[in-house]
C-alpha cells in the first residue's frame, strides 16, 4: 500500500505528504486509462491481417483519483512479449512518471517504465508504447501555482474549442480557446493551440503544452505560467 499524495496549490500541509511548504512546480500526474500500443505496430501498415496489436492496458485502482493523486495503485493486462507468463494480468504502482508492475499477489516485477509525455510509455528495456491522450479540461479548475489568485475555469467544450473564464480576485474575465488532439499515428501530441483572455485592457494570447493529466504550461510573449488542476469548483458568473 502507498500513501495518497495529492497536490495542493496552497501554502499549507500537503495532505500527509510532507512538511508545511509552498508548491513551486507542477507535480506530474501520470495519464492512466486504456491501451498503450507498441509503436512498431503503429508504423507497420503491412501487419498480417488479423494479427493482434501488442499493448499494455493500465487502469487506475479502486479508491484512487486519476486527476489528483500523484502516487496510486493500478491494475492492467498485456499481451506484450518478453514478460513472465503470469504477467498477462498485473498489479502495479505509479509514482509521478514511473510505473512498476507485479504478478498479482507477489512482489515479482513484470515490467518497469516511465511516462515520457502524455502519449508515451517507455519501458526499461527501451520499448515504447503509445496512445492518444484523452483530454479533460472541464473537470475541476486550473490554478496558477506561482500566483494562486489566478484561476481558470473551462466549462464548455465543443469539438476542439473551449470557453470559460479567468478569475483573479473579484474580477471574472471571459476566455476562449482551441486545443489540438493527439494523433500518435502522425507524431502529434495534444496541446493548447490558443487560449485568449478577453480583458477590458486588451486580449492576451497563450499557447500551451500539457504536463501529465492535470498540468498545463502556458506561454505568452516569452513568459510562462504553470497551471495545476484543483478540485475546488468555481463558476464563471
How does pLDDT run across 178-198, given as a tens digit for each residue?
999 999 888 899 999 999 999
Across 31-40, 154-163, 187-196, 202-211, least confident range:
31-40
Q: Which of 71, 99, 130 is the last residue of a domain?
A: 130
pLDDT of residue 12: 35
Across 16-25, 66-75, 108-117, least confident range:
16-25
Whether 15 is in a domain gets the answer no
Q: Which residues contact residue 207 at a Cβ distance below 8 angstroms, ignoring those fewer than 6 apart?
A: 191, 192, 193, 194, 195, 218, 219, 220
Domains held by the chain: number: 2
Whether 213 is in a domain gets the answer yes
**Is residue 41 predicted with pLDDT exceeding 90?**
no
Same domain for 122 and 38, yes or no, is yes
Calculate what percentage of the chain has a pLDDT beyond 70: 84
pLDDT of residue 214: 95
How does pLDDT run across 202-223, given as a tens digit for each residue?
999 999 999 999 999 999 999 9
The alpha carbon of 135 is separated from its chain's Cα centroid by a whole number of angstroms, namely 8
Contact call for residues 149 and 168 (beta carbons, < 8 A): yes
Same domain for 163 and 125, yes or no, is no
Same domain for 96 and 165, yes or no, is no
pLDDT of residue 169: 85
The cell numbers describing 144, all together, are 496558477
**Is residue 1 predicted with pLDDT exceeding 80?**
no
Same domain for 69 and 124, yes or no, is yes
3-state secondary structure of 132: coil
Same domain for 73 and 108, yes or no, is yes
DSSP E strand stretches across the chain: 34-38, 55-60, 71-78, 89-95, 98-102, 109-117, 120-123, 128-130, 141-144, 150-158, 161-168, 171-180, 191-199, 202-210, 215-220, 223-230
Cβ density class 36-51: b for 16+ within 10 Å, e for less: bbbbebbeeeeeeeee
Q: Which residues contact residue 102 at a Cβ distance below 8 angstroms, ignoring those fewer than 6 apart?
A: 90, 91, 92, 108, 109, 110
pLDDT of residue 93: 97
pLDDT of residue 19: 33
Per the structure, the complete domain to which residue 119 belongs is given by 34-130
Same domain for 176 and 204, yes or no, is yes
Terminal-residue alpha carbon distance, the chain: 42
Q: Which of 71, 79, 69, 118 is closest to 95 using CA atoms?
A: 71
Q: Which of 93, 111, 130 is the last residue of a domain?
A: 130
The cell numbers describing 231, all together, are 478540485
Contact call for residues 181 and 190 (beta carbons, < 8 A): yes
Whether 17 is in a domain gets the answer no
Q: Which of 5, 68, 94 is closest to 214 using CA atoms?
A: 68
Same domain for 126 and 179, yes or no, is no
Same domain for 113 and 43, yes or no, is yes
The cell numbers describing 105, all together, are 499477489
Q: Which of 130, 154, 177 is the last residue of a domain?
A: 130
Whether 19 is in a domain gets the answer no
**Is residue 16 predicted with pLDDT exceeding 70?**
no
Same domain for 38 and 120, yes or no, is yes
pLDDT of residue 105: 96
Q: Which of 158, 155, 142, 157 is closest to 206 using CA atoms?
A: 142
* Nearest-angstrom CA–CA distance, 4 and 212: 18
Average pLDDT over residues 55-73: 93
**Is residue 176 predicted with pLDDT exceeding 80?**
yes
Across 4-8, 191-195, 225-229, least confident range:
4-8
3-state secondary structure of 206: strand
Same domain for 117 and 153, yes or no, is no
pTM: 0.83
Same domain for 120 and 146, yes or no, is no
Amino acid at each position: 500500500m502507498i500513501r495518497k499524495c495529492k497536490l495542493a496549490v496552497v501554502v499549507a500541509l500537503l495532505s500527509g505528504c510532507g512538511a508545511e511548504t509552498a508548491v513551486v512546480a507542477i507535480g506530474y500526474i501520470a495519464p492512466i486509462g486504456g491501451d498503450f500500443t507498441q509503436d512498431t505496430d503503429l508504423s507497420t501498415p503491412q501487419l498480417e491481417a488479423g494479427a493482434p496489436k501488442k499493448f499494455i492496458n493500465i487502469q487506475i485502482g479502486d479508491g484512487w483519483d486519476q486527476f489528483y493523486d500523484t502516487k496510486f495503485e493500478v491494475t492492467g493486462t498485456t499481451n506484450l512479449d518478453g514478460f513472465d507468463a503470469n504477467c498477462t494480468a498485473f498489479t502495479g504502482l505509479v509514482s509521478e512518471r514511473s510505473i512498476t508492475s507485479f504478478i498479482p499477489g507477489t512482489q515479482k516485477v513484470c515490467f518497469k517504465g516511465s511516462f515520457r509525455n502524455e502519449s508515451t510509455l517507455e519501458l526499461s528495456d527501451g520499448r515504447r508504447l503509445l496512445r492518444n491522450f484523452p483530454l479533460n479540461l472541464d473537470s475541476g479548475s486550473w490554478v496558477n501555482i506561482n500566483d494562486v489568485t489566478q484561476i481558470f475555469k473551462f466549462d464548455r467544450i465543443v469539438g476542439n474549442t473551449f470557453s470559460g473564464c479567468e478569475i483573479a480576485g473579484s474580477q471574472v474575465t471571459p476566455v476562449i480557446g482551441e486545443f489540438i488532439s493527439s494523433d500518435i499515428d502522425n507524431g502529434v501530441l495534444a496541446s493548447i493551440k490558443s487560449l485568449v483572455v478577453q480583458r477590458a485592457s486588451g486580449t492576451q494570447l497563450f499557447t500551451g503544452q500539457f504536463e501529465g493529466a492535470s498540468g498545463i504550461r502556458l506561454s505568452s510573449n516569452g513568459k510562462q505560467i504553470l497551471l495545476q488542476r484543483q478540485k475546488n469548483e468555481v463558476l464563471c458568473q
